[in-house]
Structure 1
Amino acid sequence: MSMFRTSSYIADINRIFQTLRISPTRGPLPVHHFRPFVTSIRKMASDSSDGETHHDGASTEQPSSSSSKPHRSRPTHFLCLPLHGQHYPTLPQSYLPFKSAIKQFTIDETSQDASEESSMPADAIRYFNTLHLTLGVMSLTTPEKLQQAISTLESLDVSQFLSSDGLQNDDEKKLNISLKGLESMDNSRKGVEKCAILIIPPTDAPSDGGSTGGNRLYTFASALRQHFINEGIMTPENRPLKLHATVVNTVYSKKKKGSKDKKSKNSRGGGRRGNKERITFDATDVVERYKDHVWAEKLEIDRVQICNMGADKGEEVVGEDGTVEVVGNGYRVAGSRLIWP
């Protein structure tokens, strides 16, 4: 607001107050005496809300807190390293113990007394065919954006991000990992006691030559993620990459009837997803039981995939041994690239 306009408004206001001051006994004043005062106040309010402008055209008005935050579109796809082996015609030998371990984990943990306060929701356990290591998420909301992401991956020499220093032959150059232990995504004491997500941390597995080749897995995953961020395809995150295989996630759980009024730990909300209260449970015992458990050793990761958000439900099939297995579930693959073509 200019100094001239400010002085003009102040003069109008002073004139009204002078009239009021020198006429204390005249009774109610006519309405027209107040019109300049009201007009001046309205103009001052209007001008002050418009925000001043510098000579270069840049407004000095401070944006609202909501407008200052960058808008993030809802993720539609994610870049990952698959751990389920569905892409092989026949499941490799190294994957079989891992699949059996996940199956046994499901049986053991869902057979616990459901009335226990610390019980894990059975429908929170993830199916083997959904397991993967997420590198980052993408919002590919148009066919053009999706095609750009797929083309970027399928034309990329992925092996350039995988260190092969000191590794002599093709077997040693393979990206082999081990999966050991069980952790809460939030590994603090409070996070374990009110757990919503359980994960298995991956580590590099020794090659046939006896060397891990350094921290190849994390270096490879970080470099690959950064490449997609640099290409403007992946949404950058202000946090370091945390590689993990999610085996339990209560976002997929349905709250049981009557649990709202109970004060059990597996029915308390530890946060919200939309308007849905997040189910939590005390994971202290299960984390302790599996802290040294070896899920898989020398599990080869041979490709990178772009997958759609939201896993297919699948169908339950009864095997010859009487056990029930879910088939046809997992994430739909939009694009894939072998590490060593």
Structure 2
Amino acid sequence: MSNQPRPKRPPLTHFLCLPLVNDISLPQLESSLAAFKASIPPSPAKADLTEVQRRYQQQRPLIPDDAIRPVGTLHLTLGVMSLPTSQRLDEALRFFHSLDLAALLRKAEASAAQKKRLNATSTWETNSTQTTNDAGGAFGTTPTEELPQDGSTPSEPFTISLESLHALPRVRSATILHAVPVDPTSRLYPFCEMLRKEFVEAGFLQKDYKRESKTTRQPREQPPEQQQDQPPASPPQQPPTTEPELRPLLLHATVVNTIYIRGRQRNLGGRGKGDRGSPYTFDARDILSHYRNFYLDDDRTVPRSSGTVARDESSARSNDENRHGPESPLEEENALARAELGSEEKRQGYPFVWARDFRIDSLCICKMGAKKLDPEGNTSGMNARLGEKYPVVAERSLDFREID
């Protein structure tokens, strides 16, 4: 085990992302966030509270308003960067504009088609074996699928839906709730992986450092809004390695982040020692259960219930591993990464749809730190609707039909 201290992480200044707000998604996201906010249950009562504290707590929702992210900030983070000087920023921008995004998408299409072909072949072989066992002989033909050959036909833009709800770092003590993008063509995830690899190899995206201890939880790569203005981390229990690693890509849209709660105090009715500045955590089990299996029908138009999230006091409540997946941050991260854009949700029921069938229009480099927009700053009222927005320093279209 190495005894070398972990190098100080450079200041994070920018991040690479896919914005999720446009003319199609905005009204849907506004409606969904309003419904989500109205459904938040009150904080559960604690046995050791005084009567005054109990009355105060009954008026507080489990998730404070400050933790719900403004609609204008919603995006998918591909990675974070440290570009502290104008020279370093210019280098990153030149690299950003030099990338052949259309070629990357064609590779992603080939990867998605190959994966689909392998899955189809595996299914065919399984069915063929079963047929042979049942009927004494095999029949049928092996499935075939043409892979993209060249770039003569412009690629269609990404059209996705934003679905479900997940918690980080742990379900029972969550600080972040996020939705996942679902791409029916399965191109978005490999495209983002290839794009991130290009930036990493060029030296622009930051990696994380992994602890060597197997008994302590692994630190995870946090979205830029979680890294912004967070209190200093506690010293690691075990000396970490000096070699950073790249975490699995976790495409997610942060809906709730308690880092923004003013004061961030855990205790009610007082400011106990060490409370100020510590993360506000909450039990997300009931909320996840509600939103991960929200509809009754396959078309996802009929909700199971209306109103606030109901508390579940049944015996199934204790079986968190089966209801909500792994409890470890690294296990949660890997499970979601393997799900690749929400395909895992199909086994859980009919998850909530935040916005459906909208295009991802652009790839951006943004500055850290969302800026509040002046509600009176424009006549269209768009500033009031968006609330906040990350400053964009570079943007490229993902409509390759226009490029070609």
Task: State TM-score, norm by structure 1.
Answer: 0.63
The verdict on how the C-alpha distance between 1:258 and 1:104 changes in structure 2, with shifts beyond 3 A counting, is closer
The verdict on how the C-alpha distance between 1:141 and 1:94 changes in structure 2, with shifts beyond 3 A counting, is closer
Query: Which runs of structure 2 are paired with 1:35-184 in the superposition (5 Å)?
Result: 65-66=4-5, 69-85=6-22, 91=23, 93-109=24-40, 115-116=57-58, 119-162=62-105, 163-165=108-110, 173-184=156-167
The verdict on how the C-alpha distance between 1:144 and 1:268 changes in structure 2, with shifts beyond 3 A counting, is same
Q: Is 2:265–2:278's contact at 8 Å kept on the other side of the alignment?
A: no
Q: CA deviation at 1:64?
A: 5.5
Q: CA deviation at 1:172?
A: 6.7
Q: Distance in 2 between matches of 1:131 and 1:268?
A: 34
Query: Which runs of structure 2 are paired with 1:145-224 in the superposition (5 Å)?
Result: 145-162=88-105, 163-165=108-110, 173-186=156-169, 191-205=170-184, 212=185, 215-224=186-195
Does residue 232 (structure 1) correspond to residue 203 (structure 2)? The answer is: yes
Q: CA deviation at 1:314?
A: 2.4
The verdict on how the C-alpha distance between 1:125 and 1:110 changes in structure 2, with shifts beyond 3 A counting, is farther
Q: Distance in 1 between matches of 2:9 and 2:104?
A: 28
Q: Distance in 2 between matches of 1:258 and 1:70?
A: 31
For this pair of structures, how many residues does the alignment match?
A: 247
Q: Is 2:164–2:180's contact at 8 Å kept on the other side of the alignment?
A: yes
Q: Distance in 2 between matches of 1:256 and 1:73?
A: 25
The verdict on how the C-alpha distance between 1:83 and 1:181 changes in structure 2, with shifts beyond 3 A counting, is same
Q: Distance in 2 between matches of 1:258 and 1:243?
A: 29
RMSD across aligned C-alpha pairs, in angstroms? 3.4
Counterpart AA for 1:115: Q
Partner of 2:281: 280
Q: CA deviation at 1:198?
A: 0.3
* DSSP 3-state at the match of 2:171: helix
Q: Distance in 2 between matches of 1:169 and 1:115?
A: 62
Does residue 309 (structure 1) correspond to residue 368 (structure 2)? The answer is: yes
The verdict on how the C-alpha distance between 1:171 and 1:280 changes in structure 2, with shifts beyond 3 A counting, is farther
Q: Distance in 1 between matches of 2:89 and 2:265?
A: 41
Structure 2: gaps spanning 5 or more residues: 45-55, 111-146, 209-244, 293-350, 377-382
Task: State TM-score, norm by structure 2.
Answer: 0.54
The verdict on how the C-alpha distance between 1:112 and 1:185 changes in structure 2, with shifts beyond 3 A counting, is closer
Counterpart AA for 1:243: L
Counterpart AA for 1:174: P
> Which has the greater radius of gyration?
1
- Structure with more relative contact order (C-alpha pairs < 8 Å, separation 6 or more): 2
The verdict on how the C-alpha distance between 1:276 and 1:138 changes in structure 2, with shifts beyond 3 A counting, is same
Q: Distance in 1 between matches of 2:69 and 2:81?
A: 22
Partner of 1:300: 359
List per-residue Cα deviations over 1:156-185 (Å, max 9, x = no partner).
221222134568997972111121111102
Q: CA deviation at 1:252?
A: 0.5
Between 327-336 and 159-168, report the one with greater CA deviation: 159-168
Partner of 1:16: none
Q: Is 1:304–1:336's contact at 8 Å kept on the other side of the alignment?
A: yes
Counterpart AA for 1:183: H
Q: CA deviation at 1:83?
A: 0.4
Identity score, percent: 36
Partner of 2:259: 251
Q: CA deviation at 1:325?
A: 4.3
Q: CA deviation at 1:332?
A: 0.1
List per-residue Cα deviations over 1:84-134 (Å, max 9, x = no partner).
12xxxxx2x354323321233234438889825871121000011000000
* DSSP 3-state at the match of 2:357: strand
Q: Is 1:118–1:282's contact at 8 Å kept on the other side of the alignment?
A: no
Structure 1: gaps spanning 5 or more residues: 1-61, 86-90, 206-211, 318-323
Q: Is 1:196–1:250's contact at 8 Å kept on the other side of the alignment?
A: yes
Q: Distance in 1 between matches of 2:255 and 2:153?
A: 31
